[in-house]
Amino acid sequence: MGRGSRAAAHLTALARFLVIVVTTYLGLLAVTFFIGRVVPIDPVLAVLGDRAPASVVERTRREMGLDLPLIEQFYIYLKGVLSGDFGRSILTTNPVMADIRRVFPATIELATLGTLIGSLLGVPLGVLAAVRRGSLVDQIVRVIGLIGYSMPIFWLGLLSLVLFYAKLHWAAFPGRLDITYEYSFTPVTGFFLLDSAMQGQWDVFHDALRHILLPAALLGYLSLAYISRMTRSFMLNELSQEYIVAARAKGLLERRIIWGHALRNAAVPLVTVIALSYAGLLEGSVLTETVFSWPGIGLYITNALQNVDMNAVLGGTVVIGSVFIAINLIADLLYRLLDPRTKTS
């Protein structure tokens, strides 16, 4: 294949990639917009209250552009979103994007630690289950994963609070920090563990760590259930390949065959699995944050729903959806970079 043909193939792949990104994002915006319009909630009454005069309601409806055709409303909504304007929150009276910038670091910090816990434990457990297929160890790992898939997250959260906070007193009270530090600690990036370590406030760091460990461990368990199951599947596939038989015939150590050859090849699809797990924790943290009073975007959306704050609900949904799309695309790109076989497709 000549240079011109390769360049044309790369341009075609890039164009296809951009079309997928734009189409997916427009679909996300369209779904969130029309869901916000079909729910039985009048945004005007949410702002003014039920006892507002009819003339004020009609004037506000015109000012908010709700008297326009839906297509025109969607066009205005689209322009606002692309410029980062989701309107103002009824609950906080702040611009929705300002609120999201304030609360989203808490969700990222929680999901990141949960993914680290899930990956560091899930991958070795999956490898062990694959190597000892059919043994008691394999059955235990599969049961652990099954429980993680089956149990409702809010039930596990409440149970863990009763056990580790109320009974054993190992965990801190729900929230990000004790009230003692809330007014003496000034976050910079919004990531409390990072900020407290950078500022040398190790007492704050220890307190933030005590608060985040239990919800992060819970999310890590959910991530572990998914990652261990997929790792086991990938490893079983690799261990059945001919190159493994050849390596054993050459007399290589079993440890080197498993960790140096089989896991190395299985690591390519595992990157995608871990990325999807991370995206899932970011978007699925609503119930966890509600149970643990964690002031992230999940709790922000929950409070907005309870107070009929549709601007905040739609803004938070779009941001989470955008992050989910971005992580999926990054995972796909990493897969293509790590696996040479996909470069010819």
Q: Give the CATH number for residue 330.
A: 1.10.3720.10
Does residue 124 sit in the same domain as residue 205?
yes
- Residues facing residue 95 across a β-bridge: 88
Does residue 186 sit in the same domain as residue 226?
yes
Whether pLDDT at 307 is above 90: no
Residue finishing a domain among 38, 55, 82:
82
Does residue 23 sit in the same domain as residue 150?
no
pTM: predicted TM-score of the whole model, two decimal places: 0.84
Residue finishing a domain among 82, 115, 142:
82
As to burial, measured by CB atoms within 10 angstroms (0-12 exposed, 13-18 middle, 19+ buried), residue 115 is buried
What is the torsional sign of CA 185, 191, 193, 195?
Answer: negative
As to burial, measured by CB atoms within 10 angstroms (0-12 exposed, 13-18 middle, 19+ buried), residue 18 is exposed
Does residue 126 sit in the same domain as residue 27?
no
Distances (CA, A) of 203 to 186, 207, 302: 14, 6, 31
**Out of 38-42, 177-181, 311-315, which region has the weakest mean confidence (pLDDT)?**
38-42
Does residue 112 sit in the same domain as residue 64?
no
- Do the domain assignments include residue 214? yes
- Do the domain assignments include residue 88? no
Does residue 71 sit in the same domain as residue 110?
no
- Do the domain assignments include residue 91? no
Confidence of residue 4 (pLDDT cuts 50, 70, 90): low
The predicted structure's pLDDT at residue 2: 56
The boundaries of the domain holding residue 73 are 3-82
Domain count, the chain: 2
Does residue 69 sit in the same domain as residue 154?
no
Residue finishing a domain among 54, 82, 110:
82
The predicted structure's pLDDT at residue 343: 53
